[in-house]
Amino acid sequence: MNAIINDIEVIKTKSSKISEVDFSNLKFGNTFSDHMLVCDYKNGKWQAPKVVPYQPISLDPSAKIFHYGQSVFEGMKAYKDANENVWLFRPLDNFKRLNISSKRLAIPELPENYFMDGLKTLLQVDSNWIPKDEGSSLYIRPFVFASGNGFHASPADEYKFIIATAPSGAYFSGKVRVLIEQKYSRSANGGVGFAKAGGNYAGQFYPTQLAVEKGYQQVIWTDDNTHEYIEEAGAMNIFVRINDTLITGPTSDRILDGITRKSIIQLAESEGIPVEVRKLSVHEVVAAAKDGSLKEMFGAGTAAVISPIAGFGYKDEDYDLPELEDTYAAHLKKRITDIQTNKTDDPFGWRYEVKS
């Protein structure tokens, strides 16, 4: 069945999979909704986007994504409130960052209306796929990759923009233990660390496997030059609480400008929590752990929102963080998720309603 919604062609699936899904037992990112948005770049411009049934993609073996890694993505979520209204969280920030990432990888930038109207249309078509259980959401994955063919080492002449969605439960459960990395680097000055490029994450997998073999769940990345400064936690930004001050590193060529990160900073400052955005040395963190002033560490990102860290390892020594009753992590996560799910006022204008 074909339709036009928000000026976008919609080709609906002949048979929905939704009756096969156990919404009370959703793993993160393993179940996929009925439809996806597809938009092709060819002949020097982006073609009209359309919503189609979720399906495999056919590519030539010489497609440049396989050889030169031109690929960027975003991570977003859609929520339903008690009245079945659908909400997004700072979607224009995701759109802008997707184009920042695309530009760095020589991928043509997307028009805003293609992204926003395409996303809204997809969510309207697959509204029934948005979970309502506490902690669940519809995870949204916009991505762009080089679909043009050829073995020549140069940017492709064709690209594909897709938005796929996955009803998901909580990303992490419980606290994690992390290992401060002393050898490998996530990114370097002048590189693509600030972009959400697929290759950034591929390069993290091997060092993370090594950390897992030592009994940790994630890696704390340090600077590429000296490995003296804390930068990110796994695939997330990192926050450290020393006494009552919340500290996070400044964005740079190496550090992603996380949307959850920005939200935490603004929210904490609005509530009078002291926040410092500055370089944070491993030595300072270790010293704070030893003298008892290190109160909390947590990762921040779209998937987990906030993921508390129970302890860290450094130079063959482990450090445990204290068990606090009232944590910044728990408080800030609740404040953000309450805004996202329309359970409280949104003084910052972050919430975006997808109207049917």
Determine the pLDDT at residue 173: 60
Tell me the sheet residues that pair with 139.
77, 166
Encoded amino acid at 11, one letter = I
Helix, strand, coil in percent for the chain, rounding step 5 = 25, 30, 45
Residue 136 confidence (pLDDT) above 80: yes
Per cent of the chain over pLDDT 90 is 92
Q: What is the DSSP letter of 111?
A: P
Contact criterion met (CB below 8 Å) for 180 and 91: no
E strand intervals along 196-304: 218-222, 230-233, 236-242, 245-248, 275-277, 294-301
In this prediction, residues 124-146 reach a mean pLDDT of 95
Q: What is the pLDDT of residue 170?
A: 73
CA distance 57 to 230: 39
Nearest to residue 297, comparing CAs of 137, 210, 178, 203? 178
Which residues, 6 or more positions from 300, have their beta carbon under 8 angstroms from its beta carbon? Answer: 236, 237, 238, 239, 258, 260, 261, 264, 306, 307
Phi-psi sector, 44: left (phi>0), alpha (psi -120 to 50), beta: left
Mean pLDDT of 343-348: 97
What does pLDDT average to over the chain?
A: 95
Cβ proximity of 28 and 168 under 8 Å? yes
Quickly state the pLDDT bin for 172 (edges 50, 70, 90): low
Q: Which DSSP letter does residue 229 get?
A: B
Mean pLDDT of 155-167: 98
Kindly state the tokens that stand for 147. Answer: 């679909």
Query: Residue 5: its pLDDT value, please?
Result: 75
Question: Could you tell me the pLDDT band of residue 320, with boundaries at 50, 70 and 90?
Answer: very high
Mean pLDDT of 38-43: 98
132-141, 162-171, 331-340, range with greatest mean pLDDT? 331-340
pTM for the whole structure: 0.96
> Distance between CA 141 and CA 302 in Å, rounded?
11
The residues, any chain, with a CB within 8 Å of residue 70's CB and separated by 6 or more, are 64, 105, 106, 107, 145, 146, 155, 156, 159
Question: Residues 195-213: pLDDT tens digits?
Answer: 999 999 999 999 999 999 9
Q: Which residue has the tokens 């440049």?
A: 64
What domains can be seen in the chain, in order of their start residue? Answer: 2-168 (3.30.470.10), 176-340 (3.20.10.10)
Rounded Cα distance, 307 and 19, in Å: 32
With bands split at pLDDT 50, 70 and 90, how would you rate the model's confidence at 356?
Answer: confident
pLDDT digits (tens, 9 = 90+) for 7-28: 999 999 999 999 999 998 898 8
